[in-house]
Structure 1
Amino acid sequence: MQAQALPPLSIQQTIEQISIEQVVERILSSRQITRQDQYSLLALSTLTDQEQALINKVFDRLRLGLLRVVN
C-alpha cells in the first residue's frame, strides 16, 4: 500500500505552523522529500540538538537512496 501524499506546504506555513518533528515524520513515513521540505528544514537558523539530529536522519536516508525526491 502506498502512502497517501500530503498537500504541499509553503515554506512560511511549514516554519510557522508545523514543527520540525512533524515535517520529518511526514518525510520518513512517505519516503519522499520535496524541495519545499528541504528548504523548510534548512531555513531555521537555530536548531536544538534533537532537531539537528532529525534533519541529519533525513539527509542520511536521502544519501542512501531511501527517500525519493519529488516536486
Structure 2
Amino acid sequence: MMPTNASPPKVSVEDIVERIFAFRQITSIDQKLLRSALLSTQSLSESDQVQLNRVFEGLRNGIILVVE
C-alpha cells in the first residue's frame, strides 16, 4: 500500500474566509488551510490581501474567535 500525503485540499482564500465569517471563528484547520493556500502561490492577489485583512480586523475587533 502506498503512503498517502496528508496535505490539505486546495481551497481558495475566499472560500476559507467565507467559512470563518459564517461561523465567526477560526479553527486550527482553517489556519492550516489558509497557510497552505497562501504558500502555494508566488504572490498574494489584491483580493486575497483584502480577504486576509478582513480576518485580521475580525480577530482584532472580537468578531472572530480563535478556537481549538
Name the TM-score, length of structure 1 as normaliser: 0.68
Secondary structure in structure 1 of the residue aligned to 2:8 = helix
Q: Give the counterpart letter for 1:53 in structure 2.
A: V
Matched, 1:12 2:10: no
Instruction: Tell whether the 8 Å contact from 2:25 to 2:65 is kept in structure 1 after alignment.
Output: yes
Q: Which runs of 4+ in 1 moved over 4 A?
A: none
Specify the alignment match of 1:53 in structure 2: 50
Query: Deviation of residue 13 (structure 1)?
Result: 1.9
Instruction: Tell whether the 8 Å contact from 2:17 to 2:55 is kept in structure 1 after alignment.
Output: yes
Secondary structure in structure 1 of the residue aligned to 2:26 = strand
* Higher Cα Rg, which structure: 2
Instruction: Tell whether the 8 Å contact from 2:27 to 2:67 is kept in structure 1 after alignment.
Output: yes
Name the TM-score, length of structure 2 as normaliser: 0.71
Work out the CA distance in 2 between the residues paired with 1:12 and 1:59.
25
Q: Which runs of 5+ in 1 are unaligned?
A: 1-10
Query: Deviation of residue 61 (structure 1)?
Result: 0.6
Q: Give the counterpart letter for 1:67 in structure 2.
A: I
Query: Deviation of residue 12 (structure 1)?
Result: 3.2
Q: Give the counterpart letter for 1:13 in structure 2.
A: P
Percent identity between matched residues is: 41
Work out the CA distance in 2 between the residues paired with 1:47 and 1:31.
24
Instruction: Please provide the CA RMSD for this pair.
Output: 1.9
Instruction: Tell whether the 8 Å contact from 2:24 to 2:65 is kept in structure 1 after alignment.
Output: yes
